[in-house]
Structure 1
Amino acid sequence: MAWIVLVLSGLLETAWAIALDRSAGFTRPVASVIFVITLVLSMAGLAYALREIPVGTGYAVWVGIGVTGTALVGMLALGESASLPRILCLVLVVAGVIGLKVYH
């Protein structure tokens, strides 16, 4: 169960990062509220997961999911560069996250 919560929390990290960008420095109320809600839920999920998963592994997986998800949303929906080197770097992040899970 802790791993499921950790993955969902990582996805929520993507949501709060995108909402933070869309809040335009907290000048847009809806995006700002979405940021706060998803941030709190993401942190709460991480805290829950760390009761069973070592902090080094859990935090690295949480950040890896958030980084990868945020970069993918940026590339697919926000017009950021989707160059081969960027994609290869994301593949390395995903490989690292999988490795941490496998060798937990």
Structure 2
Amino acid sequence: MSWVVLIIAGMLEAVWATALSASQGFKRWRPAVIFVLGLAGSMAGLAYAMTSIPTGTAYAIWVGIGASLTVLWGVITGKERASVGRMLLLIMLVGCVVGLKVVS
């Protein structure tokens, strides 16, 4: 169950990071509210997962999921460029996250 919560928490990290950018420095209230809710859910999920998953592993997986999804969302929405090098690095990041789970 902790792994499922950790994955959801990582997804929420991407939500709050994207909402933070969309809030334009907290000038837009809807993305700001999504940011606060996403951040709270993400941190709560990470904290819960850390009760049974080693801290370093949980944190690395949480960050890896959040960073990967944030970049992918930027590429999908056209706000970031999808270069071959960038996509290869994302694949390596995901591979490292999966590797951490495998060896845990």
TM-score range, shorter chain: over 0.9
Q: How does 1:1-104 map to 2 (within 5 A)?
A: 1-104=1-104
Aligned CA-pair RMSD: 0.5
Q: Which amino acid aligns with 1:78?
A: G
Deviations 1:52-93 (A, max 9, x none): 000000000000000000000001113310000000000010
SS of 2:101's partner is: helix
Structure 1 residue ranges without an equivalent (≥5)? none
Q: Which amino acid aligns with 1:64?
A: G
Greater CA drift, 77-86 or 52-61: 77-86
Segments of 4+ moved more than 2 angstroms: none
TM-score, reference length from structure 1? 0.99
In the alignment of these two chains, the number of paired residues is 104
